[in-house]
């Protein structure tokens, strides 16, 4: 994952599910702890660091198991879209 991120150097990352969130943000990156929040992530590179913004969202498989979670996932994806467009998102941005 980190090698791929170093190649792509994304400006924005949407982590689908708690495992993906924890992989980038540590133990506090679970969906329950971080949904609706924007985190600054420093991607370590050989030539220095690359900053990107990270959000978490419930995993689509969770929606398949519990269709009542679809509005939650949809609202999070909309917030991520706003972030990418440079629009304000729901909660203030947090540093990681």
pLDDT digits 0-9 by tens, 17-70: 999 999 989 988 888 888 889 999 988 877 788 899 999 999 999 999 999 999
Confidence of residue 90 (pLDDT cuts 50, 70, 90): low
pLDDT number for residue 95:
43
Q: pTM (2 decimals)?
A: 0.86
For residues 74-85, give the mean pLDDT: 95
How far lies 30's CA from each of 9, 48, 49, 68, in Å? Answer: 23, 27, 24, 20
Closest CA to 72 of 50, 87, 90, 93: 90
Cβ 12 vs Cβ 83: under 8 Å: yes
pLDDT number for residue 92:
47
């Amino acid at each position: 994952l980190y090698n791929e991120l170093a190649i792509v150097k994304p400006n924005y990352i949407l982590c689908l599910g708690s495992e993906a969130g924890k992989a980038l943000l540590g133990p506090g990156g679970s969906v329950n702890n971080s949904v609706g929040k924007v985190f600054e992530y420093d991607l370590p590179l050989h030539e220095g660091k690359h900053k990107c913004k990270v959000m978490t969202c419930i995993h689509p498989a969770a929606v398949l198991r519990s269709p009542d979670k679809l509005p939650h996932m949809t609202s999070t994806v909309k917030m991520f879209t706003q972030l990418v467009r440079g629009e304000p998102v729901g909660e203030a941005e947090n540093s990681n």
